[in-house]
A and B are shown apart, each in its own frame.
Chain A
Amino acid sequence: MEVKAPIAVLIALAAMQTAQFRAGVEAVRVDVLVVDGGKPLADLTADDFELRDNGVVQTIESVGISDVPISMMVALDTSESVAGHTLQELKEGVSAAAAALRPADRAALIAFASDVRLTMDWGNDAAAVPDALSRLSAGGGTALWDAAQAALTFSDDAPTVRRLVLVFSDGDDTSSWLPRDWVLEKARRTDVVVYAVEIRAPYTRPTYALHNRAGTESFKAVSDDGSSFLDELADSTGGARFRITDAVELRKAFARVLTEFRTRYLITYTAQGVDQKGWHALEVKLKTKKGKVTARRGYMR
């Protein structure tokens, strides 16, 4: 399929290519959401943002807008507990989200239960999604952390896309090999934005199978401050977590993720005046305009 790159993409690409010639210093991409009164704020430019990398104000080279193609990795929990009505709603919700993708957008699909499986490889044929979904069945445990790691690692490696991982789960991890903290560390190293949709009753007591495989330390399903893995995953990547209580809300939740993601800005800059290696704390705000900015808390180099 021929993909016509929008001008914004070419500008962003040019900026990155320029950056590559600067003694190996890589361009940094930060995906940000700006809302005011719950609604996305449009038409912002580089001049509207102030970005600090480890406390040092940076020169923003470009601000991409929603024209930049999306690469959406969908990771779906197909454990035993989603069998029946939830799985059906899940399939319909993902199909609807796929139908809303644009021709230049790409998608891939991972299903996870006790194991993690690639159900649809990267491609821009949205019509292939319902077919891939039709092969899914429910059964087994929940290797949520393993699936998150796989989705982050296997995110689209095309340079001119904005990477979205959409994770759906209905419960806590019961069978991952990887410890949750290692997966969260991985999330902080990528420029992927994670949106999570969680379905659960207002309070569900976590149940544990034997198999938290790594087992070297904690079986923690929640952080010490009570936030869930998906809360932290979304938060550390500048995304969001939507919690619903009924499967019928899935379609709406997935649509909301895609709509919100399209309104995000992709800021590109080359870090100056800071050490290149290690953790870079990020702070993004609007200089004068009113609005709430959501972005990843930092990145690792």
Chain B
Amino acid sequence: MRSYGSAALILISVCLSGSSPTVAQSSSYRALVESYRELGRADTQALLAMPREELTTAVDQAVRNTAAWPWEDLRAAAMLHSETCVTAADKGRTCEFQIMQAERLLERTIGLSPRQEDFVWRWYHAMAPMLNALGQKSLARGIETQAAEKWRLDRARAAYVQGLEVESKGAHEPITQTSAGPNAYDKAGARAGHFAQAGELFTRALQQRPDLTAAALHLGRIRMLQGNAGQAAALFRSALTDVDPAVRYLAALFLGSLEEREGRFEAAEKLYRDALEYVSYGQSAPLALSELLSRTGREVEARSVLAARVLRMNAEVLEPFWAYGPTDEAPATRFDLLRVEVWK
């Protein structure tokens, strides 16, 4: 797992500006949010320098004026406050005020676009472990409590989270050595047992909430490991409609690998290229595409995809698969994924 301390917001160095408090105070709140959403420029110092009353008023106006503030901007504003909180927490300062503003903006985001409930759920589940890692334990606990209360009645989410934990347990079980060699999916082994149990939990989640297609992604992978490619493909197809680009990215890759194994190279190539669009900082997608191009005799293209997307000097990498496991793992990656999702 990437530790927060070392990995910490791989992109943040690109985005932090060095503007002074004087300049910041003259910038309007709206301009700060636009700059963040359009350019990925997180002027956290400006937000920290802004008087609380002024900031509270600005957020009030944003959540009331829906004509001027579409949900995409509200969501970006929430992430800007989150970035500001992380910047403060990294220096040992509390940032509860910034979190409160982010929560208000996110609540309004859901009001305007109900599907963003998924983003907000992911936000709560990234922020709590993140702030915990930064030593803001009390604030982290508060966020956890809020999340538990908000999704208290959502049994589908509960089954999904439990499924992630059981799936992870299965993946960490040793591979069974059989007389025919190592077997990754020994039907009698503990590994398979955990996967089967996780499969049941994901199935339950989907029965309760068919729109929770992140569960379809995980169930699809389990079906794939169980050798049921047909069911896996159908589940991955449904996960391609997920609101989370990281889920779409992984669904496209898994489905692409199934297509490639069946020799349907054109379909696989399209899916790999789609994955590149969903999350452009990933490595699995360009590696998969490059491998496919090489396999189909297009060595020059294979090389150029690698050169452009993987083997660049000082390339930033943000691979959704690093956050595939339980929700308390890889908080920095989860946070980075939220950030890039709100940028235009």
Contacts and interface: CB of A to CB of B under 8 A. Distances in A.
Interface of A: 110, 114-119, 121, 139-140, 146, 149-150, 153-154, 157, 175, 177-178, 182, 185-186, 189, 205-206, 208-225
Contacts of A210: 168, 171-172, 324-325
B294 A153 contact: yes
A246 B325 CA distance: 34
Nearest to A117: B315
B230 interface: no
A261 B284 CA distance: 32
B180 A217 contact: no
B287 A110 contact: no
A152 B175 CA distance: 29
A213 B321 contact: yes
A211 B312 CA distance: 24
Interface string B259-297: 001000000000000000000000110011011001100
The 3 nearest A-B residue pairs measured at CB = A224-B181, A118-B311, A177-B284
A219 B176 CA distance: 10
Contact of A211 (B294, B302, B324): B324
Interface in B308-344: 310-313, 315, 317, 319, 321-322, 324-325
A213 B284 CA distance: 8
B313 A216 contact: no
A220 to B, nearest CB: 5
B221 A114 contact: no
B182 interface: yes
Grouping DSSP codes into helix (H, G, I), strand (E, B) and loop, the A interface class, with mixed when no group exceeds half, is loop
Contacts of B321: 175, 177, 211, 213
Contacts of A185: 295
30 contacts: A110-B311, A114-B322, A116-B283, A116-B287, A116-B311, A117-B311, A118-B313, A146-B283, A146-B287, A150-B287, A150-B311, A153-B290, A153-B294, A153-B299, A153-B303, A154-B311, A177-B253, A177-B283, A205-B174, A213-B321, A214-B257, A215-B254, A216-B225, A216-B261, A217-B184, A217-B225, A218-B185, A219-B184, A221-B182, A224-B180
Interface string B1-30: 011001000000000000000000000000
Nearest to B261: A216
Contacts of A220: 175, 181-182, 184
B181 A223 contact: yes
B307 interface: yes
A213 B171 CA distance: 11
B181 to A, nearest CB: 3
Contacts of A118: 310-313, 315
B306 interface: yes
Contacts of B182: 218-222, 224
Contact of A177 (B171, B224, B258, B287): B287
A154 B312 CA distance: 11
A110 B312 CA distance: 10
B325 to A, nearest CB: 5
A216 to B, nearest CB: 5
Contacts of A221: 175, 182
Given A153-B306, A210-B168, A210-B172, A177 B311 contact: no
